[in-house]
Structure 1
Amino acid sequence: MLETWSPCVDWGLLARGSIAGVVCAYPDPFEQEAGELLAAEAGVVSTAGDGYYAGAVDEETLAALIETLPATE
């Protein structure tokens, strides 16, 4: 896992397959909309919840990412 300072770069890396997945915690709404569109067009599988977004290159990786998220009540 790597924490970066640039969500836009992360979205590009995910869309081109350079990283296997991304988790965004409380993302900026404008960056998130653009990033989700880019990811969807690239075939990324994703899920979103209260304050987070997770996207990955496949269902198995997405499931592993979701397991790392803190439980919400």
Structure 2
Amino acid sequence: MTADIDQLLIARYNKVLNYTLDSTAFPRSYNPEAKQILKRPSKDWTSGFYAGNLWMLSDITEEPRFRETHKNGPHL
């Protein structure tokens, strides 16, 4: 069961991983029913969750792609 949950989480974060960053909003979560990434303004206190989630996913999955995402991309 844990493996199933892990796979669901990885699938969800793959959607967020491919989000194109912009300076007005950061992805906070993914709504699977609406198939939509929920965003928050960059001034919102949750805007750092995106980077933190990617960092934690890299640790959990041992996949560096989560940690390397946007490393050399747009600097906002």
**TM-score (structure 1 length as normaliser):** 0.30
TM-score, with structure 2 as normaliser: 0.30
* Higher RCO (C-alpha 8 Å, min separation 6): 1
